[in-house]
Amino acid sequence: MRHIGFAALLILLAQTAGALELEESRRYEVADPQSELRVLSTADVEVFEPIILAFQQENPATTVQYDVASSSEVMRGLYEEGAAYDIALSSAMDLQIKLANDGLALSYSSAATESLPGWATWHDQVFAFTQEPTVLVISKAALEGVPVPRSRSALIELLRTRPDIFDSRIGTYDVRTSGAGYLFATQDSRNTENFWQLTEVMGRLNARLYCCSGQMIRDVGDGRLAIAYNVLGSYAQSRLADTPGIEIVEMDDYVSVMLRSALIPVTARSADESGRMIDFLATLSARPDLVAQTGLPAVVPLRPNEAPERRPIRLGPGLLVFLDKMRRETFLRSWVSSMEQR
């Protein structure tokens, strides 16, 4: 039986989304609309569209408004502007937990959400629906005849010894503006002592900073970049067929696995439709056709000793540590200082 709990903040935060800076926006009309689902998401339209269309096949009377923004902008819109959306999908797990922890998400439970592994939900408010590794994407042409780095130590050594290949041709996130990039960087700082060393080497080689995985992958494919670091593997896999000049590398030392998650903002106007979409996403593993079309790996229970180098980033309050204002400022100062090494 479904249950949706409404927060008292709904009235206080029922504002428009006019101040949001959107990257894309698409409306999926139906012939006889009886309801509307407003989605705010970090996933590109081309990636998520098969899921929307499949959802509408099961809910033929629901129009879907799909707006795309950066993870930081999703957070700002919901946290500061009170943007009115029925569901928020984000790759920045820490920001999703922050929204829920601060009372800006509604509770929801159903048979579908209860079937998710315990590590894929938090307090019946944040629900993971994908498991996506962060990877290194390389240009085959740029690294022709050069050993492909399989660890961060090997990557550091390669960058140091071949500046002729990598100067101004390394791509990574600008963690000051990318919520997902900040999450991946802070996880790296926890997982390896080489993180700051790698950051300094990238800085000395004039690394190019990006908001999003998609842009980095395109620039590797076009030859503007030799490598892109911490790219979402799902996006890279979806581009392989159209971008034959790239190669995807999962590091042997460890692979951070991001859980793309969904929540229902307190400003939701169609909470019933929100619940239906949560259920649809929670059971994505039962739709291998959609997993194949989108390139988004569905959440599945982890088996013992399966790919031990993969380290899922766990949903929970531990993600809030680096969102503490002083800790964030300290981290960003160190990151900027490292990136500015010349």
Q: Which residue has the higher pLDDT, 18 or 112?
A: 112
**CA separation for the pair 228, 137 (Å, rounded):** 5
User: How large is the average pLDDT for residues 241-249?
Assistant: 88
Q: Tell me, what's the pLDDT at 150?
A: 95
Largest Cα–Cα separation, the chain: 63
Q: What is the model's pLDDT at position 230?
A: 95
Residue 222 — pLDDT band, cuts 50, 70, 90? very high
Q: How far apart are the first and last CA of the chain?
A: 60
**10/140: higher pLDDT:** 140
CB of 259 closer than 8 Å to CB of 94: no
pLDDT bracket for residue 342 (50, 70, 90) = low
pLDDT digits (tens, 9 = 90+) for 169-187: 999 999 998 888 999 999 9
Model confidence at 1, in pLDDT bands (50, 70, 90)? very low
Residue 9 reports pLDDT greater than 90 = no
At residue 6, the pLDDT reads: 36
Give the pLDDT band (50/70/90) at residue 153.
very high
Take residue 71 and report the two structure tokens written for it.
């993870």
Helix-strand-coil split of the chain, %, nearest 5: 40, 20, 35
pLDDT tens per residue across span 71-120: 889 999 999 999 999 999 998 899 999 999 999 999 999 999 999 988 89
pLDDT value of position 17: 40
Place 68 in a pLDDT band, splitting at 50, 70 and 90. very high
Q: Positive or negative CA dihedral for 277, 279, 285, 289?
A: negative
Whether pLDDT at 12 is above 90: no
0.85 surpassed by pTM: no
Query: Hey, what domains does the chain have and what are their CATH numbers?
Result: 3-131+259-301 (3.40.190.10), 132-257+321-339 (3.40.190.10)
Tell me which residue of 212, 139, 205, 138 sits closest to 173, measured CA to CA.
212
Two structure tokens written together for 342 = 């010349």
